[in-house]
A and B are shown apart, each in its own frame.
Chain A
Amino acid sequence: MERRAIFAGRLLPALLLTPQLTVTIVFFIWPAAQALLQSVRREDAFGLSRHFVGLDNFAAILADPFYLASVEISFVFGFAVAVLALALGLLFAVMADRVVRGATFYKTVLLMPYAIAPAIAGVLWLFLFNPSFGIVGSALRRIGIDWNFLLDGRQALLVVTLAAAWKQIGYNFLFFLAGLQAIPKSLLEAAALDGAGRRRRFWRITFPLLAPTSFFLLVVNIVYAFFDTFGIIQNVTGGGPDKATEILVFRVWYDGVVGLDIGGSAAQSVILMAIVIALTAAQFRFVERRVHYT
């Protein structure tokens, strides 16, 4: 889209663009290019020597069983978070769309976790599920479950998944509610007059019409689970026990900052970039198609 009425001039637009272009080049283009460059180089920990190694860093990563496990954990975690947060967000949105009184109140409270930092959400859930004194953790032990997520990898993954999904419910709720309210009521009324029950109306009309919203949210939630949950992971499990919750971003940080393996960390960054670009591209393609056909 372009506008017809524009202004003449070269100097002013250049000046207007300069701040953002400078920040973008210095803090985005340059580091991203560095990541690409470092991913094909090997550097000693002090940055004193470096040489070109081609795709060795990538080969090393992809041959590392712990890295492959981390890929698997990320996807399991990402999908679990997305599915859980989407299902609950949709459930609450459908209900809020039906209530007559108190809709604003429900909306306000459900939106709250969006404002809470992932790292803080992690602290809250860590506290709830602590095996010895956490309210939920100690209750689980009392009813005979051997609850100790500090030692049990599956339980640890469960806690970080719950904490991450909890934070995202309000966001999904908001988008689903907007999607529901955009569905023409005449469509649902017509179906009701034809004798379609509530359940049937939901699955035959509402749910398909929400597909674009759902797909958009699926991508947003997966990107969130991949990149924004570092604080949750570090506060709740520290990537453990025994790497059971080590998602990809955690490993980029660990290898780069703790392990000082710049080349390996950069190669992982490049792989992560490819994943985000693929997800974003999938989303744009889908959104474009939706614009064409509806």
Chain B
Amino acid sequence: MTAEALPAEMAGSDRGAWIPHVVLVAGLALVLFPVYVAFVASSLTLRDILDAPMTLVPGPHLFANLRAALAEGTVATSGQGVGAMMANSLVMALAVAIGKIAISLPSAYAVVFFRFPLRRLCFWLIFVTLMLPVEVRIIPTYQVAADLRLIDSYAGLALPLIASATATLLFRQFFLTIPDEIVEAAKLDGAGPWRFFIRIAIPLSRTNIAALFVILFIYGWNQYLWPLLVTNSPAMTTIVIGIRQMIGNGDAQTAWQLVMATALLAMLPPIAVVLAMQRWFVAGLIEPEK
């Protein structure tokens, strides 16, 4: 896409056309180095890791370490395996992504396609949430979750993170671009608002839905502060919280080979989702915010 857009004159007359590649390869190294070191560390024994300087050549223990982390975790997680934590993270990420899309589509549809009393108030009630991330209202939100008996539940993990208007704003902008002619034509064909919503508005939004799904899945999977507060039971620990428990004091006692194996496991699902859905995700990330 970049390449074709460049006029031949400017691309062709390059002295030093190699410079961008050198800079970009340095960029790749910067991005990949910490991840590569984690990969190498998770293929070594703790003794290899602590023997500074640690080798940069992968050892033979990758699968043994991954298996040990997945099944048993470490002493610090009292036998709770990372596999169970990943399942919790997955439920949370899916609940946040699907839940937010599921409540945002109808509300955006309502404010765009209807006129009703208090419409403006509803609109502002929802949109004011854009201003404040969950981190700034963390203690009162915890108290609400506690009052509703949502501590140590998936609903408690996901619901407060769903209370934000980013998705609603995106769908609203998209619904505003649906041509009036389509709506009039559908009405002439006898389609009511519900039918139009299900048969036309939602299918037309599928690119936006895909993009939001990626963004929200990553957002949900990567949460830290809120799960730290709202879960106490080891059975509800997410992987991002679990790794914190495994590090402990961060000294030589820490089972670093397992911590790094867990870090790999924690990075894998969100990276896989981004890679698999990159095209939609990039479009969805850039377009609504510009």
Contact = CB atoms under 8 A, between A and B. Distances in A.
B27 interface: yes
A231 B107 CA distance: 32
A13 B27 CA distance: 49
Given A112-B35, A231-B224, A120 B176 contact: no
A124 B9 contact: no
Contact of A266 (B17, B20, B139, B240): B139
Contacts of B6: 98, 100, 185
A101 B20 CA distance: 11
Interface stretch (A24-32, A49-57, A70-78, A202-210): A24-32
B289 interface: yes
A192 to B, nearest CB: 7
Contacts of B256: 127, 133
Contact of A23 (B27, B50, B128, B159): B159
B82 to A, nearest CB: 13
Interface string B37-67: 1100100000001111110100000000000
Interface string A11-29: 0111111011101111111
B213 to A, nearest CB: 14
B11 interface: yes
Interface string B1-45: 111011101110010010111011001101111110110010000
Contacts of B9: 189, 192
Interface string A88-128: 10011001111111111010111111111111110111111
A135 B53 contact: yes
Interface string B121-146: 01001101111110111111101100
A45 to B, nearest CB: 13
Contact of A106 (B28, B54, B135, B175): B28
B270 A115 contact: yes
Contacts of A109: 28, 31-32
B271 A20 contact: no
Contacts of A218: none
B7 A189 contact: yes
Interface in B69-115: 102-104, 106-107, 109-115
A113 B29 CA distance: 12
Contacts of B49: 133
Contacts of B275: 108
Interface residues of A, number: 111
A292 interface: no
Contact of A27 (B2, B38, B106, B144): B144
B225 interface: yes
Given A100-B3, A108-B275, A174 B286 contact: yes
Given A31-B144, A189-B10, A21 B224 contact: no
Indicate the size class of the contact surface on chain B: 35 or more
Nearest to A130: B250
A119 B133 CA distance: 17
Nearest to A272: B136
B208 to A, nearest CB: 16
B261 to A, nearest CB: 12
Given A30-B144, A31-B137, A124-B35, A20 B107 contact: yes
B11 A127 contact: no
A117 B20 contact: no
Contacts of A252: 135-136, 138-139
Contacts of B24: 92, 95-96, 99, 102, 106, 110
A230 B49 CA distance: 27
Contact of A92 (B5, B23, B140, B260): B23
Contacts of B274: 111-112, 114-115
14 contacts: A5-B187, A13-B114, A13-B119, A17-B122, A29-B128, A108-B275, A110-B27, A110-B28, A121-B34, A124-B34, A135-B56, A138-B52, A138-B53, A213-B290
- Going nearest first, the 9 A-B pairs with the smallest beta carbon separation are A117-B222, A231-B224, A34-B140, A31-B140, A5-B183, A16-B106, A7-B193, A95-B20, A13-B110
Given A6-B183, A7-B114, A8-B114, 14 more contacts: A3-B183, A7-B193, A16-B106, A17-B122, A24-B165, A95-B24, A102-B24, A106-B24, A123-B247, A134-B52, A169-B27, A171-B285, A230-B224, A266-B140
Interface of B: 1-3, 5-7, 9-11, 14, 17, 19-21, 23-24, 27-28, 30-35, 37-38, 41, 49-54, 56, 102-104, 106-107, 109-116, 119, 122, 125-126, 128-133, 135-141, 143-144, 148, 159-160, 162-165, 168, 175-176, 178, 180, 183-184, 187, 192-194, 196, 218, 221-225, 229, 240, 243-244, 247, 250, 252, 256, 259-260, 263, 266-267, 270-271, 273-275, 278, 282, 285-286, 289-290
